[in-house]
Amino acid sequence: MLSLVGLAVIACITTLLILGRISPVVGLTTIPIIGALLAGFTPGEISDFFETGLGSVMDVAVMLVFAIIFFGIMNDVGLFNPLINLTVRLTRGNVVAICVGTVVLAAICHLDGAGASTFLITIPALLPLYKRLDMSPYLLLLLVATSMGIMNMLPWGGPVGRSAAALGLDPVSIWRGLIPVQVISMVLLIGMAVLLGIREKRRIRIRQRMNTKQLAAAGSGGRSGGGSAPGPMEAGDWAAGPANHEQKPRNLWANTLLVFTVMGLLIADIVPPSLAFIVALSVALLINYPKVTDQMQQIRAHGGAALGTGAIILAAACFLGILQESGMLESLASDAVGLLPAATVPYLHLIVGILGLPLELMLSTDAHYFALLPLVESIAAEAGVSTLAVTYTVIVGNVIGTYISPFNASLWLGLGLVGADIGKHIRYSFVPMWAFSVLVLAASLALGAIPFR
């Protein structure tokens, strides 16, 4: 009975999230409660389940809320503008350099873990360069999205935060184990950017040759030379970076020191992450906005996104508490092990990791980490696979595809800024991104960056 109810709860939540028929907050609370009532649990028992689940996600929710507001303020005061302008200046006219600069810029801008703000910063800054060089806007989306996926391994990124909440782990501890994976991923991504840049340069050259032939054919009809095909932009053609990034940063050195201090505290594990970001946000407000009215305005400006993410994590406490404390997940995992071929159970997490990107097209981020990950972890545990091995494998295999899924709201913003089509984006990016995610997973396992079991 518990297995059937647990399976029904997971299936309902996953299906409704995929179809967009229910919000994560509503689905993660009402459906598990209904399932628990059908399984015969009393309201008092359900309340106990929720309180247990709430205790497991509270630290994650607090950290995410204050981290998002903090990095939002850092963006507002222009802390990253010098890096943006430097990237634009250094990559003028060189297709390969622009591709490399794109992934570096996107990684820096995605320190806040918010996809919308990264798209808003990187695309307006780089799209004019791509258009002037006749580079594909879908290449811009591919590179930015892949770089953002790598940076989503940060502890305040959605996948790590959700994984920590789903399995009762510390997001900063997960991130420390993923730091070598991020280094490996960025090195491989720079290599992929070079290869894609060379391919794009060849495509542009072929297209320009075809345009030249067409102009020559049109001019041979009797009219004397009306023009020529546009050539690639030379090093001095781009006079300056986009105007919206020319604002001089405020309190540059103080804000830079503050960001590095917070990152150092997280790495050294001196104070809890939630406390680190609460203090950092307070210092950032005092440094940049001495007036109380300005401080409150900044909190209101970024509070919507922060509270939206925090609300999902808190709502997940109901789902996780009920499934885990009621015994549904354990019962379902045990029954599933009996149905799976014995030879596949020890490698289930690897199979899910390899299929992580295709699954992202069918599952939302919430469904992937709140429904699929706990189930895989429970089944793999029966075969002696550690929780960390499952967590790392599922994250690495899935996180690259975060911004190819149509269920990701911020992707639609990126598509709108570029003027791209979701179907073309998936067709253009799916194979390179999936191949890259599998390569990162294989390299991380081979180099021992993440455990095999």
- Check: CB of residue 83 under 8 Å from CB of residue 38: no
Longest dimension (CA), the chain: 90
**Rounded mean pLDDT of 441-452?**
85
Mean pLDDT is highest, among 105-119, 313-327, 433-447, for 433-447
Q: What pLDDT sits at residue 18?
A: 61
pTM of the predicted structure, to 2 decimals: 0.65
Region of residue 238 (phi > 0: left; psi between -120 and 50: alpha; otherwise: beta): beta
**Rounded mean pLDDT of 108-124?**
76
**Rounded mean pLDDT of 355-359?**
85
Mean pLDDT over all residues of the chain?
80
Cα gap 73→211, rounded to integer Å: 46
Cα gap 402→115, rounded to integer Å: 10
Mean pLDDT is highest, among 91-95, 175-179, 242-246, 402-406, for 175-179
- Check: CB of residue 153 under 8 Å from CB of residue 178: yes
- The per-residue pLDDT for range 426-436, each reduced to its tens digit, is 889 989 999 99
Tell me, letter by letter, the H, E, C secondary structure of the chain. CHHHHHHHHHHHHHHHHHHCCCCHHHHHHHHHHHHHHHCCCCHHHHHHHHHHHHHHHHHHHHHHHHHHHHHHHHHHCCCCHHHHHHHHHHCCCCHHHHHHHHHHHHHHHHHHCCHHHHHHHHHHHHHHHHHHCCCCHHHHHHHHHHHHHHHCCCCCCHHHHHHHHHHCCCHHHHHHHHHHHHHHHHHHHHHHHHHHHHHHHHHHHHHHHHHHHHHHHHHCCCCCCCCCCCCCCCCCCCCCCCHHHCCCCCCHHHHHHHHHHHHHHHHHCCCCHHHHHHHHHHHHHHHHCCCHHHHHHHHHHHHHHHHHHHHHHHHHHHHHHHHHHCCHHHHHHHHHHHHCCCCCHHHHHHHHHHCHHHHHCCCCHHHHHHHHHHHHHHHHHHCCCCHHHHHHHHHHHHHCCHHHCCCCHHHHHHHHHHCCCHHHHHHHHHHHHHHHHHHHHHHHHHCCCCCCC
Q: What pLDDT sits at residue 123?
A: 79
Range with lowest mean pLDDT among 42-46, 79-83, 351-355: 79-83
- Domain spans, the chain: 1-214+248-335
Q: How far apart are the first and last CA of the chain?
A: 31
- The per-residue pLDDT for range 256-303, each reduced to its tens digit, is 899 888 877 876 767 887 888 899 999 999 999 999 998 898 888 888
Of 91 and 252, the one with more pLDDT: 252
- Check: CB of residue 113 under 8 Å from CB of residue 67: yes
Q: What pLDDT sits at residue 238?
A: 35
- Give, in order, the Cα–Cα distances in Å from 169 to each of 58, 138, 272, 374: 11, 37, 13, 12
